[in-house]
Amino acid sequence: MALTAEQEAEIAQARAQSVPTRRATVPALEEILFAAIPVLDHGFIRVIDYMGDDAAVVQAARVSYGRGTRKVSEDAGLIRYLMRHRHTTPFEMAEIKYHVKLPIFVARQWIRHRTANVNEYSARYSVLDREFYIPAPEHLAAQSAINRQGRGAVLEGDEAARVLALLRDDAARTYDHYIEMLNEDEAGRVQDEGRQGLARELARMNLTLNTYTQWYWKTDLHNLLHFLSLRADAHAQYEIRAYAEAMLETVKRWVPVTHQAFMDYRMGGVHLSAPGLAILRRMLAGEAVTQESSGLSKREWRELMDALGRPG
């Protein structure tokens, strides 16, 4: 991740300001407020603002007038109860806003989560930066033979070098053409006074999907946790998972009790279907259940055995 001197100065100025408030603040999150947390090669996330904390969740659940009417242990127990039984509305009372820099193809995945407020950098108004995501060699994999949405073995040797060269060359070439069509440089200055450039809103269509974009993304805690439960999962695409894992660390700072409950009951927990629960009960009763006698498909059986830590 490379920030310009001007961007670093803006962040330093924002972090140097302090405003007295009667609102709840979280010291651990204040420590990293506005700071850029690197993700991938040129990306980052920044916490820009937040409202509420663990106590806001408890306050909403009890519809109380104050913040500390119960013991901390009782508040933690309530949050864990809410998480365990999927009572969602109290978690909607806390909100957070991020500034995210990410490749366009990751943004197109991310935007499918339609429960946030989003404002993206406008390539109709401004010129996009010459920054492209190029995977690290260990993340350069072939298509999975068993999962149409997944990756298989990592490419190596000449094949990997060829793919990396194609990614770099294609991104650089299309960006050069983008600038040529605009008749502007990256700072927006006209290059050839005798030529009229193509409109920015049209020139952008030639860019590769690994070009970086930026947005502000604001959501409530409930919907953030839903996003993270999907995108921080081991089955999620690596690139968006890298952002989700960085965001998980900010959640840990912001609402540590909620974060622990989330890790215990959502990320570390397992949901069993009614047939799956029936099979588990049969196994606990001593019955030797097989996939053929379970009534489950091969895929569902394999998923159940994986969840139970048993050979499929």
Sign of CA dihedral 235, 238, 239, 243: positive
Confidence at residue 143, expressed as pLDDT on a 0 to 100 scale: 64
DSSP letters, 231-290, are HSSTTS-HHHHHHHHHHHHHHHHH-HHHHHHHIIIIIS-----HHHHHHHHHHHTT----
Q: Three-state DSSP class for 2?
A: coil
> Which is catalytic among the residues 231, 241, 266, 299?
231
How many CB atoms neighbour CB 218 within 10 A?
17
Answer whether 143's CB lies under 8 Å from 180's CB: no
231 a catalytic residue: yes
Nearest Cα residue to 88 out of 79, 96, 77, 97: 79
Instruction: Dig out the tokens for 152 from the structure.
Output: 């298989």
The one-letter amino acid code at 258 reads T
Confidence at residue 147, expressed as pLDDT on a 0 to 100 scale: 64
Instruction: Dig out the tokens for 199 from the structure.
Output: 């409109």
Nearest Cα residue to 140 out of 114, 163, 169: 163
Confidence at residue 71, expressed as pLDDT on a 0 to 100 scale: 73
- Interaxial angle between packed helices 54-62 and 72-84, expressed in degrees from 0 to 180 and rounded to the nearest 10: 80
Answer whether 191's CB lies under 8 Å from 184's CB: yes
Written as tens digits, the pLDDT of the chain (312 aa) is 668 888 889 888 988 888 888 898 999 999 999 999 999 999 999 999 999 999 999 999 988 666 555 677 889 999 999 999 999 999 999 999 999 999 999 999 999 999 999 999 998 888 999 999 999 988 887 666 666 666 678 888 888 899 999 999 999 999 999 999 988 877 778 777 778 888 899 999 999 999 999 999 999 999 999 999 999 998 899 999 999 999 999 999 999 999 999 999 999 998 899 999 999 999 999 999 999 999 999 999 999 999 898 887
Confidence at residue 157, expressed as pLDDT on a 0 to 100 scale: 86
DSSP letters, 203-247, are HGGGS-TTBEEEEEEEEEHHHHHHHHHHHSSTTS-HHHHHHHHHH
pTM of the model: 0.90
